[in-house]
Structure formats: C-alpha cells, structure tokens
Structure 1
Amino acid sequence: MSITRVSDLLGLYMNRYRKADVFAARREGQWTCCSSDDFVRFANEISLGLLALGVRKGDKLGIMSPNRPEWNFVDFGAMQIGAVTVPLYPTMSAHDLEYVLKDAEIKVLFIGGAELYEKTNSLQDAVPGISLFSFEQVEGVRSWEDVKNMGKGKDAAAIEPIRLAQQPDDLLTLIYTSGTTGNPKGVMLTHRNIISNMLSCEPLLPESLRKALSFLPLCHIFERMVSYLYLYKGISIYYAESIESIASDIKEVQPDVFTTVPRLLEKVYDKIVAKGGDLSGIKKVLFYWALGLGLQYDPGKAGNAWYRLRLRLANRLIFSKWRAALGGNIKVIVSGGAALQPRLTRVFNAANIPVVQGYGLTETSPVIAVNFLGRGNHKLGSVGRPVEGTEVKIAPDGEILCRGENVMMGYFKRPDATASEIDEDGWFHTGDIGRLDGDGFLFITGRKKELFKTAGGKYVSPPVIENKFKESPFIEYMVVVGENRRFPAALIVPSFTFLREWCVRKEIPWSSNEEMMKHPQVLERYRQETEKFNQLFGQWEQVKRIALIPKEWSVDSGELTPKLDVKRKVVLEKHAKEIEELYEI
C-alpha cells in the first residue's frame, strides 16, 4: 500500500499490523497500551470533534505536552481534516510562546497538564480566542476527551472525503525553530516533505524491530518523523515516563530501537566508565582491557582476526553487561541533533550496541544524511551518505547545500527569510560547513555563522573545539570566544554532578559552586583537561584561558534553547565581564 499523505498511515496500520500495543505509556506505575483499533477510533473521534468545534482546513492547532499517546491522537485527528499541527516545546519561554501563538494564529491549543496551564493561562488576555484543552485533569480547563466525546457516535465515514481531499503538497505542520537569535521562525513542512524523508530513512531500521522507546520531544521533527516511520514499520512505541526514568524504562521495555542526542550517550558512557573505575583487582583490569579494545573499533572496517577474537571475548565478559543495562535487545540507536564523539561510536558499536549518526535540520524534514548499518555504509566521524532522493553539494565557501523533496515549503509569513535560505535553483543553504569525501560520506566541520577570525587573521570554528572538549566528563557546556582577539579562550560550565563526586573522592571541601571552582585542585584539573584537548588542535586554535561559570545554564535562564543548544549571543552578552577578564594582562 503506497502512501502520499501522513494520514494514510492509519489505514496502512490497520491493513498490515493490527496489534494491541501501537502506543504505551506508564500511568500510576503500570504500562497502559493503546491498540490499533483504539488509535484509529480516537483519531477519528478527534477529527469529528474538531469539526464540531469549527476547525477547518488550514486552521492551526497547537500541542504543548511531553510525549504521550494522546499527542498522536490529536496530531492524526487534526491532519485528517487538513488542520495544521503546531508543536510547542513545553520548556518554551513565555515570550516565545506568546509570539508563536500570535504568529501562527493558533485556534485550538492542547496542553499536557497543570504545570503548562500556569504558563498558558497568563497569556489568555494577550492571545484571546484560543480554545484550550488539557490531556490531564486541570481545574477550570476542558479535557481533550471533551473534544473526543464531541465526535463519539458520529459516522467516521464523513471524514474520508475530507481526508482524501488533502494533497501531498498541502501544509501538514508548522514547526517553529528555537533559534539562538531573534524570534522563532515557522518552518512549513508538507505531507510530501515528511513522507519522502520517512521512506528514505526506512532502510535504517531492520525488519526485526518490535518495540521503540521514545523520550526525545515529539515537538521536534526528528522524533516525530521517526515516530511516523515506526508506525510505517509496525514498531510499537513506548513513551518513557520522564527523562529521569529512562534507565529503568529501558530495562522494563527492552526496546529494539530508540533515538537520542549525543549528550545522553555521553552520560551513559561516563557512568559506565565511572563504575568501571570503582572496580578492583582482575575485574578492573578486564574492564579497562575491554574498553581499550572498544576504543580501537571502527564500524566501517572488519579488523584483523586477532582483534576480532579478543573483541568476542570482551563482548562475552564485559560488554554483555552493558547490553543488559540497555534492555538486552538493542539493534540500533540513532543519534542526531549534534555531533557524536567518535569514541562513543567506536565503543558502543564494539559492544554490539549499534549506534549510527545522522544529520539534518527542521527545514529538511529533517534527515539529510545518515550512517546506515552494515559494513561499507558507515564511516567513522562522518554523518553518513545523503539519503535517497536528497542531493548534497558543497558551495565554494564550504557551506553544505541540500536539494530534494524533503526541503521545506519555506518560512511562514517570511518570504524574505525563505528567499535568503533557498536559492533560485532550489538549493537550501544549511549554514553548516562541511565536505564530501571520495566515497560520498558527509563530514561536518563547523557552522558558517560561528566561524571567527583571531587578531592574527586565523579562522577558528568554535563548535569543533567545543564538541571535542565536551568529551570530558568534567564539562557540561563550553563556548569558545576570541573574535578579533589575540587568542581563543573559553567559558566552561562544569558538569556539576560529576565534579561534586570527584571533589568527594579527592576530599576537597566546598559549600557552594563558587567555592568549589576556586579550589586550587579543581582549577588545576580543568587546566589539565584544557591542555589535553588543546593538543588535538593547531596552535592558533588552542584555548589559552578558561573561565569556569558557577551557575548552570538553562532554558529558563535564557542561555539554552528548548533543544538545549547554547544561545551563543545571549551567553556572550551575559558573560561579557568574564570574557573581558580573560583577555586582561
């Protein structure tokens, strides 16, 4: 059965798979499953209920909630009648939320629960006329089930002609990029954009996959497109209860697949290594022997017979415990959103926990390139080959350009911004700097807008340096500065959890972050970390001085986007004093 609209997935699922656990979520300590029959029925009832509310084709419907099955019921209910879903990050600032509600002209907004009601309730006067519904019981707010009940008992056949009237190039969703500067921009994605990208990524998931664990936000196009792909492949989706519960949820669900961001894998790796360091005797020797073998692994090469023999033994003695901690069934983990450190790719793949890295943007639905499973399809340090149907070329200045059916319609109400990003020949300008090697693999080497030139006339790419330094368990965030200065320097936000544990082990007294980071042993440790990573860069790129920031950066305090990317401009403004002090002599 071919599909041209995302809503076609409903019929395809009923024809191919029909199962008891299309979706599952933990409620009151128990996993509650939603069957394929429930999924279709709820989506239809939402469609009919929205029609009863007066929602029509092209109207905007917002969803602001953590991941849960109801997210999908509303999403599919809206798309069947041609309404446009606008996903909103639960962590979005009140300012950005007000801007998006107004800019998108949202008519109906579904929120997660009481906490988000507090955020949206304060905007009722600023954005009048919005119909508000909650997935959880909130006093004074109508339930999402009220919309469902409006459609209950009505003839679902009435939806089909409306659904079939939707065209592949109709607007499906409007996704506001979190952006590190200025107001968010609404990215317009069509059914064709997402379907083409979904089908291009299908070979990434082996046929044997049964369960997926989902914890990346559905309001991000990466997790949303992959969720559509899970449905296309008949893979059940289990939603993690929270970020804090992921470890226990993985053990319970025993998923075959999940998507993640590099930072989570870094924390898993750091935790494993920390536990290995606490071992003693032969167990500790074997742990570091296995880890050393893993750090030599290249998923694109077989290795010699002697290496393969030792690795099989390491898998039996050590890495089997890693797999058990991840549920024991992992067949692929897909990492996106930021650069994945090569050491993580090496170690996890060596442990028979296949990790692949991809690359893309919201504007490209999102995947441009990805490393597929299998020897010859994966190259260490790259983000893979461009997916089928997507052209990639490198502009004379090194910028990565992309063209294909996955490229957005444009920015909502922003023809000027659209024209500046998509040229007359249809090439989307990603803003990233990269190269294609002789085998067609794409390598990302920097961000065009973030390159700066030192006073000596040398170009420096901060993201490359920052990503390498963040391999250190001592570093949570880092911003390299130095434009028109004599040398690069850096602001560093420590990984406070790790640093506190380290201070306890070293018997370093402290009563506050500020006191801890002024201790001579702590300062010396960060100096050593800086010296170690500096050796990987040219003299002109090396970080000569650092400033430790005692306060964690967050979305609420303004330094991070909802995707947890650093807002470089905000950081530079907030820490202007510390930056100036770095260059005082």
Structure 2
Amino acid sequence: MARSVTDEVVDQSVIEDRAASVGHLFRDRVAASPGSEAFRYPQAEGWESLTWEQTRDRAYALAAGLVELGVQPEERVSIMSSTRIEWVLADIATMCAGAATTTIYPTTIPEDVAFIVADSGSRVVVAETVEHVEMLRSMRADLPDVLKVVVLEGEGDGDWVITFAELEALGGTRHQAEPGLVDGRIDALSPDHLATIIYTSGTTGRPKGVRLLHSAWTYIGATVDSIRILGPDDLQFLWLPLSHVFGKMLLVLPMQVGFPTAVAGDVTRIIENVGAVKPTFMAAAPRIFEKAYGKIVTMMADEGGVKAKLFDWAAGVGLEAAKVRHGGQEPSGVLGLKYRLADKLVLSKIRDRFGGRVRFFISGSAALNPDVARWFDAMGLVIIEGYGLTETSAASVVNRPTPQDNVFGTVGWPLPGTQVRIAQDGEILLKGPGVMAGYHGRDDLTAEVLGEDGWFATGDIGTVDERGHLRITDRKKDLFKTSGGKYVAPSMIESMFKGICPYASQLIIEGDGRKFVSALITLDAEAVTAWGAKNDMAGDSYAQIVSSDACREMVQGYVDELNSQLNRWEQIKKFHILDHDLSVEDGDLTPSMKLKRKAVVAKYKDELAEFYTD
C-alpha cells in the first residue's frame, strides 16, 4: 500500500527542543563531537581537514575580531566570495559574534553590490579578491557604515582593508584577553534575533533583502534531522554558492546532525572532486544532473557496437528493477539475475564516477526533468527533488530517499512543521517556522506576499496529490497565453526537452499573445563538439557546428519528439539555435544556474520577433 505524509515517522522532540540560535547550535555540536571531522577543503597538496574543535577555535578568533572592529549584535557582515572554507568560517564567526550575515555573489555587478552593502547597513565586508576590494574602494564614499573590508586574497592597506589572517590574529588576541567574550555573545542570542539577510531579485530591479531569523535556520536543521534521512556517518560534498539560500542551508545541517562536509566551489571540477571525496550525498541544481546524464549517454552512443548495446541493455534492466522497487518490492527471479549482471558490468561503474558511496542526491532551485531522475535511479543513484525559496529558508518540501516515497515529477512532502495550501488561482502558499520575517526595510513588499495569518504566497503554481506530494506547474509570472487563449507553462516544457535531447543546454520558449510557440535553443559545448567531430566537423567552433544544416536537422528531430508529447497549442513551431551558450557571466543565468527568463527574452527579442513577421 502506498504511504502518505501522515504515515511518516517523525521525531518531534528534535524540532521542539531545537537550539535557540545558530550560535548555540554550533557550540552544542562542538561539545558533542569535538574531535570529529567538521570540514574538508582542497589545498595544493590535496585535502585538509578541520575538526569541530579546530573550527570553533578559528571561528571564535574571527568572531572576537569582528567584535574588536566594533560589530554589534544583529549588525550585518557581508560576505562576497565563492564557496570556500573561509566563507564557512566567516559565516560561523558572524553567527557567534551575534551579528547577521549578508550574502553577496562574487559576480554581482558593482551597482547591486553598492546597494546591498548600503541597504543592509553592513559594518564589515569580507571580500574574496583584490578586484572586489578595488570595487568597494571606488564606492567607499557611499558606504559610510562600513568599518573595515576583510580581503581573502590580497594585502591589507593599513587603514580600511585588512586580511583574513589579520582579522583572525586580531581576534585571537582579544579572545585570549577576554575568553568569555564570544560565548557571551552567543548566550545573548534568542530565536527572534536576525541571523541572515539574503538579497533576491525584485520586480522593480532593486534586490529585496530577505530577513531570516535564527529560529528559521534552527528549524530547518531540526526538521530535516527529525525525518532521519541523514546521520553522523554521512559525508557531504558542498559546491553550491553559499550566497544562495540552498547553499547556506547546507551549512546548518552538519551542525545539527554532525556529519562532515567537503567544501570546494570550483564548478569545473565537480565530478573530479566528487570522485576524490566519495561523498554519501550532494545537493545540486538540475543543470548538473542534466549535463552528467547527457555526457554519459552521448559518450556511450558514440562508442557504438557491443559497448553501446550493453549500456542500453543495462539501463533498461535498471529501469525495470527501479520500477519494482518503487512498487515496494526487490527485483527477484529472472529480473533479479539480469539486474545483478547489469549492475556488475555497467551500473556500478556509473556509480563509481560519483565516488561509489552516494546514497542520494538532492536537486533544487529549478525543475528537474523526471526522465533524467528516472535514469539516475536506474543507475542506482537516487535523486530526491525538493522545493523552497529564499523567503522560506530554502527547504519547505522534499521527497524522501526510499523508493515508495520518492515520486518523480513532484517535489515531495512538506517537512514536519511546514504547511502547504493551494490558493483558488493555483498559487502555492506556505506557512511554517522557516518563513522569513519580511523584506529588509520594505514593509510594503512584505505585505504583498506575507499575510497576517503567516501564509506566504510563493508565486509558483502547483497541485497536491492524494498522497500529499506537491507538484510544481510553473512560475505564476512565467505562464503565458497564446493569441488563441491557451495557457502555456514554459518551465515544464523546457525541462521535458532536456530529458529528450542529451545535447541540450537551454531551451527558452516564448509565445505570449502570439499565434504559436517559438523557442531559443542552446547546446552543451562539450557534447555538441564531440557530436561535430563524429559528423565531419572536427576542429570546427561551437558556432560553426550549431549553425550547420546537419546540427539543425539533429535538433529538429528532438524538437519533433518533444512536440509529440505536447498539446497542439504548446508545440514549438519555429526555433533558433544561438551561436553561444547562456552563462552566469553574461547575466543569462543566476549563480545557481537558474534561467533568467525575462532577461534572456528581452536580450533576444529581435530573434524571437522574426518568427512572427509573416
């Protein structure tokens, strides 16, 4: 019999007895696991580790350094850096000093950096590079609240800029002279104190600062712990941007549960680092899974002959076995024999590419194609999809790793303590301890999305099935209506295409008020270059390959396959393959690799307009 959310065993005491603040949570973890590994990070000679006790020593020194600089409780410390161990230490130090972290992506444009630092009232800015420091120096006159800039890579100037090591040394001296200083700051924290401000895009163009209290973060840690999907023996690989709410959440979980985390933010080395770290779980955006799927599938297809046939056979057997597991059974009889052989010859080797120890992946920040999720499941690599927003501390709803509870195409059940409701117009409403306190300095914007009864309007459209699983249809603002009066949900169609075409990078569909739907398409550079080499275009550039008749014919075949699964009014009648892929640097994607739809449609409005000139 199928389980529902009401059947789930939850340890409510974990939620009810949670720590008063992130500072308390961190201190409790150090007391419980002082000599256990807390964090691992890459160095020139390999990987180095910090125990929880060593992490405490460094974080307390940095926290005392912030106090020495003049940072008061709940005042803000901005961190503008890629994902690295110093980001982690700076964030923990900020929490322990009783201050609040403000996150800034290292790729943020100067205008927005100036706005975020000034709007948040940040007293200290931790900046990664010399270029970041120079940017801040150029706007210093507009940042009167900033006491100091702390640079991770570079030298201090003896005045406004000090190094990370200098901050740690400064705090070490203060902490030695006043050993109870940091613990006193932690003791003074309450659940209602401000912990974090994370800025998210606003409709006016100005970012909105989401205020998250300590109670929100300790709730997220406790509620995930209460469902027992993670334990102290797990090992996390963390590469996600820590400036994103998803990444920030993944720093709270190890404090709550006690597992170690390997931290390395180089996106180009994810697979290599995963193979070296051998984690038991990892969170990622869908694009990472889509890219890995496309690479493996096309590589095996290019092998041809016996290898390709063996891979296809093993994948088919894996899918059959997975279907049996999702029905509550284990593959047996002939299927069991075939599965053991397929696993030995093929499937286990795919798992080895990801370190060989992964229990599950977590996918979030955008829709994951269900067919991609099923393919990974067939390989023995479970992906559980979750859902949340910056305004809900990242985690509100998540599938569970057990086959019967992991429903592809849904984002799962609400976490204990969180409620989900569907409004009359289909909008998803959320309520629970993880919901924000409001937008920083913008009560007017807060009132638009957060009712007095505590229900937060997400802006997403969805449905809840009979078992309690939430299914996201699309962003409310992204839905459009054709001139024929039919609604189209672009995200769903775009996700479908990525599961059909292994060469796809991005699909952006348009048709608002038009008589038919059109699309912009980009292809994965690595995959299409390999395809070009097999099709008499070896040595040609990406632009040359994607503009060829052969490539267009190949893509047309996948578009036709997509259209065969869509309603007539949703089908793509015309498309254009861009001569370059979309990127974070060009402002097309967020740092978490989510499509900036409006920005892309505006950028390529001329190309889209040509489809409708007849």
Considering the TM-score relative to the shorter chain, is it more than 0.5? yes
Shift of 1:221: 1.5
> Which of these residues, 91, 97, 103, is aligned with residue 87 of structure 1?
103
> CA distance change for structure 1 residues 572 and 420 in 2, over 3 Å: closer, same or farther?
same
> Which of these residues, 567, 574, 579, is aligned with residue 603 of structure 2?
574
Which residue in the other structure is 2:534 paired with?
505
- Asked if 1 retains the 8 angstrom alpha-carbon contact of 2:285 and 2:593, the reply is no
> CA distance change for structure 1 residues 137 and 24 in 2, over 3 Å: closer, same or farther?
farther
Which residue in the other structure is 1:447 paired with?
475
Residue aligned with 1:22, SS: strand
Which residue in the other structure is 1:544 paired with?
573
What is the CA–CA distance in structure 2 between the aligned matches of 1:6 and 1:521, rounded to whole Å?
56
**Mean Cα deviation higher: 565-574 or 33-42:** 565-574
Which residue in the other structure is 1:408 paired with?
436
Which residue in the other structure is 1:484 paired with?
513
- Asked if 2 retains the 8 angstrom alpha-carbon contact of 1:300 and 1:380, the reply is no
Map residues 414-433 of structure 1 onto 2, 5 A cutoff.
414-433=442-461
The one-letter amino acid of 1:301's match is G
Task: Provide Cα deviations, 1:404-456, integer angstroms capped at 9, x if missing partner.
Answer: 11110011111111111112321101111110001111111111111111110
Which residue in the other structure is 1:148 paired with?
168
> CA distance change for structure 1 residues 275 and 549 in 2, over 3 Å: closer, same or farther?
closer
**Mean Cα deviation higher: 480-489 or 338-347:** 338-347
Task: Provide Cα deviations, 1:225-270, integer angstroms capped at 9, x if missing partner.
Answer: 1221122222111112611222221222111111111111111112
Map residues 339-354 of structure 1 onto 2, 5 A cutoff.
339-354=367-382
Shift of 1:69: 2.2
> CA distance change for structure 1 residues 497 and 274 in 2, over 3 Å: closer, same or farther?
same
Percent identical: 34
- Asked if 2 retains the 8 angstrom alpha-carbon contact of 1:186 and 1:411, the reply is yes
Task: Provide Cα deviations, 1:91-142, integer angstroms capped at 9, x if missing partner.
Answer: 2122221221121121100112334335434433443452111123336441
Residue aligned with 1:193, SS: helix
The one-letter amino acid of 2:149's match is L
Map residues 208-223 of structure 1 onto 2, 5 A cutoff.
209-223=233-247
Map residues 369-388 of structure 1 onto 2, 5 A cutoff.
369-388=397-416
Does 1:13 pair with 2:29? Answer: yes
The one-letter amino acid of 2:477's match is K
The one-letter amino acid of 1:229's match is L
Residue aligned with 2:572, SS: coil
Shift of 1:533: 0.6
Shift of 1:530: 0.9
Residue aligned with 1:276, SS: helix
How many residues matched? 585
The one-letter amino acid of 1:144's match is F
> CA distance change for structure 1 residues 456 and 512 in 2, over 3 Å: closer, same or farther?
same
Shift of 1:162: 2.5
Which consecutive residues of structure 1, in runs of 5 or more, have no partner in the other structure?
Answer: none
Q: Give the structure-1-normalised TM-score.
A: 0.95
> CA distance change for structure 1 residues 547 and 282 in 2, over 3 Å: closer, same or farther?
closer
> CA distance change for structure 1 residues 475 and 282 in 2, over 3 Å: closer, same or farther?
closer
Which residue in the other structure is 2:271 paired with?
247
What is the CA–CA distance in structure 2 between the aligned matches of 1:185 and 1:307, rounded to whole Å?
54
> CA distance change for structure 1 residues 434 and 204 in 2, over 3 Å: closer, same or farther?
farther
What is the CA–CA distance in structure 1 between the aligned matches of 2:301 and 2:135, rounded to whole Å?
44
Which residue in the other structure is 1:66 paired with?
82
- Asked if 2 retains the 8 angstrom alpha-carbon contact of 1:547 and 1:582, the reply is no
> CA distance change for structure 1 residues 375 and 474 in 2, over 3 Å: closer, same or farther?
closer
Which residue in the other structure is 1:473 paired with?
502
Residue aligned with 2:268, SS: coil
The one-letter amino acid of 1:166's match is L
- Asked if 2 retains the 8 angstrom alpha-carbon contact of 1:260 and 1:333, the reply is yes
Which residue in the other structure is 1:301 paired with?
327
Task: Provide Cα deviations, 1:501-520, integer angstroms capped at 9, x if missing partner.
Answer: 21111003785544433321
Which consecutive residues of structure 2, in runs of 5 or more, have no partner in the other structure?
Answer: 1-16
> CA distance change for structure 1 residues 405 and 221 in 2, over 3 Å: closer, same or farther?
same
What is the CA–CA distance in structure 2 between the aligned matches of 1:210 and 1:375, rounded to whole Å?
19
Which residue in the other structure is 1:520 paired with?
549
Which residue in the other structure is 1:272 paired with?
296
Which residue in the other structure is 2:154 paired with?
137
The one-letter amino acid of 1:31's match is W
Residue aligned with 2:68, SS: helix
Q: Give the structure-2-normalised TM-score.
A: 0.91
Shift of 1:80: 2.2
Task: Provide Cα deviations, 1:273-331, integer angstroms capped at 9, x if missing partner.
Answer: 12322435433322110112334534632466344443333222211111211111111
Residue aligned with 1:556, SS: coil
Residue aligned with 1:195, SS: helix
> Which of these residues, 282, 286, 292, is aligned with residue 306 of structure 2?
282
Let me know the Cα RMSD of the aligned residues: 2.1
Which residue in the other structure is 1:234 paired with?
258
What is the CA–CA distance in structure 2 between the aligned matches of 1:562 and 1:280, rounded to whole Å?
36
Which residue in the other structure is 2:10 paired with?
none
Residue aligned with 2:445, SS: helix
What is the CA–CA distance in structure 2 between the aligned matches of 1:29 and 1:138, rounded to whole Å?
24
